[in-house]
Amino acid sequence: MNSLLLFYCSCVLFPILISPSIAKTTATSSLPQPKTLILPVTKVPHFPRNQYVTVIKQRTPLVPIKLAVDLGLENSWVLCDHSYVSSTYKPQHCGSPQCSFASQYHTIEDCRDCFGGGTLNTPGCNNNTCIGDVHNFVANIISAGELFRDVASVESADGRAVYMPNLLFGCGDTMMMEGLASGVKGIAALGRTKLALPSQFAAAFGLEKKFTVCLSSSTTSNGVVLLGKTDVSKSLAYTPTLFEPSFGKRNGKYYIDLKSIKINDKVVPFPRKYLSFGYPYEYRGGTTLNTIYPYTVMFELIHSAFVNSFVEAMPKDVPRAADVSPFKACFNSTYIAKTPVGPAVPTVDFVMKNGVVWRMLGANTMVEVDKDVMCLAFVDYGEYSEGSAIVIGGHQLEDNLVQFDIANNRVGFSNSLLSKQTSCSNFAAKYVNA
Ligand SMILES: *[C@@H]1O[C@H](CO)[C@@H](O)[C@H](O)[C@H]1NC(C)=O
Ligand SMILES: *[C@@H]1O[C@H](CO)[C@@H](O)[C@H](O)[C@H]1NC(C)=O
């Protein structure tokens, strides 16, 4: 797969304007509209790519569907094969408002008949339907599939099940399941575009257009995504989100204005231009955040400078251990003290516009790979190319509250909850069962 093409395609998915008439709720009860919806998130170990997996109920009758969470993706997709059974599945036909609006953004064909040998008139195989790009950034693959609407249901924070009769999704085929953890049937898109879940749910229920992520570091207790209103804003530091210049609002990723990286308060030396858009070439660059990467990925020249600075800052009496792929700085952990905020190692600061600092402590910067070996949990993006200079990944987001405020074009973050004697599994326990 040509990664430039892949990145290009990722930016031009259909930002359909979901009008209230398209995404209307079943207002059959007199209960007030929910203010906050809950998506439970489980960390699923899956070598070499852990996944953060949520569950949405979908179809008629409703069945729980496991989806890997992608914070930058524009449209959600699910496996449409013989296992997709629903009496409310609605392919989006050519010429429908969604299709015609979407067609101006298509990179591939925008309308077609069933192909690929499925059974005609079953999910994923209908004639005269519009199609969407389908991305799996776990395996770095892309295809296209039928766009459809179906019933979905999630929990609200006041303990109700809420229904959406028309949640838009794309169809993936079995080839698109590559790399996904067992039982995972697709990808939940939490990107910034109107087609992604936060905007679809916000439009349907009149939610505030934001969501808050708290990922548990444990594989046995849940984390959570809260869609809509939360009361955490006061405890967060905010930094603006930027629009990538080539694709602007058609790109689902949340770009933040990272200015420099410090290790133990010393700036990691690399040219500033490595952090800008369009470097090393068009459509690339910038800093984003995404759970689809288990560890932060960095452009190779940033990564090598970062690793060198970290190794230099590490106390000299901590012996190096052999590299464990994909990590480049591993240490004998018997020489590293343990603290409530993780192993005692140099601090890593991501310094953003106006001096706002995201400080990462040992729990977020190191990963235990063996009983006496610990590695710096940041990897060279050659391993998992996506196009951004830096993508802050799942391990670095764990036990931090991170709010994606779409309406106000900003991202808020708490810094490690562990330093406040709490964690994301504590936070999530208020909303979901452990
Ligand atoms: C569906 O499309 C295929 C391929 O274009 C065509 O052969 C077939 O007749 C169509 N079926 C119906 C029911 O329209
Ligand atoms: C780490 O250090 C301990 C104590 O010196 C030693 O027994 C152990 O073999 C070392 N482990 C590695 C992986 O180097």
Please write the tens of the pLDDT for every residue from 221-232.
Answer: 999 999 999 999
Q: What is the pLDDT of residues 330-360, one digit of tens each?
A: 999 999 999 999 999 999 999 999 899 999 9
Closest by CA to 241, choosing from 428, 71, 70, 75, is 71
Closest-CA residue, ligand 2 atom 1, reads 332
d(CA 227, CA 162): 13
Q: What is the dihedral of CA 198, 204, 207, 212, to 10 degrees?
A: -20
Q: What is the pLDDT of residues 27-38, one digit of tens each?
A: 445 678 999 999
**Structure confidence at residue 12 (pLDDT):** 32
Closest-CA residue, ligand 2 atom 4, reads 334
Taking the centre of ligand 1 as the mean of its atom positions, its distance from the CA of residue 119, in whole angstroms, is 11
Mutational pocket test of ligand 1: of 115, 119, 121, 127, the residue with most ligand atoms within 8 Å of the beta carbon: 127
d(CA 41, CA 393): 15
Tell whether ligand 1 has an atom less than 6 A from the beta carbon of residue 127: yes
pTM, whole model, 2 decimals? 0.91
Number of the ligand 1 atom closest to the C-alpha atom of 121: 13
Burial of 332 (0-12, 13-18, 19+ CB in 10 A): middle
Number of the ligand 2 atom closest to the C-alpha atom of 333: 1
The set of protein residues with a Cβ atom below 6 angstroms from ligand 2 is 321, 332, 334, 372-373
**Structure confidence at residue 100 (pLDDT):** 62
β-strand partners of 411: 239, 404
Tell whether ligand 1 has an atom less than 6 A from the beta carbon of residue 113: yes
> Between the ranges 106-110, 137-141, 235-239, where is the mean pLDDT highest?
235-239
Containing 124, the helix (H) or strand (E) segment is none
